[in-house]
Amino acid sequence: MNLILLGPPGAGKGTQAARLVEHHGMRQLSTGDMLRAAVAAQTPVGLRAKAVMDAGELVSDEIVSALIDAELTAMGESVGAIFDGYPRTAAQAEQLDGILAAHGRELDRVIELDVDEDELVRRIVGRYSCATCGAGYHDEFQRPSVSGVCDKCGSTQFKRRKDDNEETVRTRMAEYRAKTAPILPFYEGRGLVARVDGMAPIDEVTAAIESILAGD
């Protein structure tokens, strides 16, 4: 199974991808996570990407497609892939077709998480994650069961993303509207798109995605 999760910043792509990984043993390929790791490690890609990401703009198509290609090369052929935050432009969508073909994979589904933009700002500004294992949380919507302690690994250290401030979020949303949303018809024409109400509670969104995948 090869699946794209498409939706604006804060739509819940990362949250839902983590659940699919847990339930189906698939692999989450998040270009945002890969780029943040490259920035933290100060690799040449990270050094080029940092300012672009901090401004909420898009990193070049060549960089992100090369990251995806390298991850697919490193992973087992039988492991399903969840593309989270990729592709994000028409050029990336075309590059992904070529990459999948080269790896003998086929795209099974594009799930669009449909959300209201004002809610997204609330979601993003309240988001944080465990500094040790990366588990995601939210000040209001997804708190750890014991305050200040990660449910998954017990760590007490948490972090917030540098681009999670209101101004940068607005730029990220404008980028989504201008460059990413227009790729939907490319996949709609192939009958691959299923739309899910991303405004529903997290468990309900998961259930909706599971029922789409079960029907495939």
Q: How far apart are the C-alpha atoms of 117 and 29, rounded to whole Å?
A: 24
Active-site residue, selected from the candidate residues 160, 170, 179, 195: 160
Interaction pattern, residues 46-65, with ligand AP5; x per rule: CB under 6 A: ------xx--xxxx----x-
Q: Of 62-81, which residues contact ligand AP5 (CB under 6 A)?
A: 64
Catalytic (active site) residue 27: no
Q: Which of 123, 196, 209, 213 binds ligand AP5 (CB under 6 A)?
A: 123
Binding of ligand AP5 at residue 14 (CB under 6 A)? Answer: yes
φ, ψ (nearest 5 deg) of residue 30: -100, 115
- Single out the segment in contact with Mg ion by CB under 5 A; choices: 11-19, 47-55, 67-75, 193-201: 11-19
- Sheet of 109-114, strands arranged across: 27-30, 81-84, 2-6, 109-114, 193-197
Cα separation of 142 and 140, whole Å?
A: 6
Half-sphere exposure of 117 (CA within 13 A, CB side): 9
Which 8-state DSSP code applies to residue 131? Answer: T
Q: Confirm whether 13 is a catalytic residue.
A: yes
Give the C-alpha separation, 15 to 179, whole Å.
23
> Is 127 assigned a catalytic role?
yes
Residues with catalytic function: 13, 88, 127, 160, 172
Please give the residue ranges that form the binding site for ligand AP5 (CB under 6 A). Answer: 7, 9-15, 31-32, 35, 52-53, 56-59, 64, 85-86, 88, 92, 123-124, 127, 136, 138, 141-142, 163, 172, 198, 200-202, 205
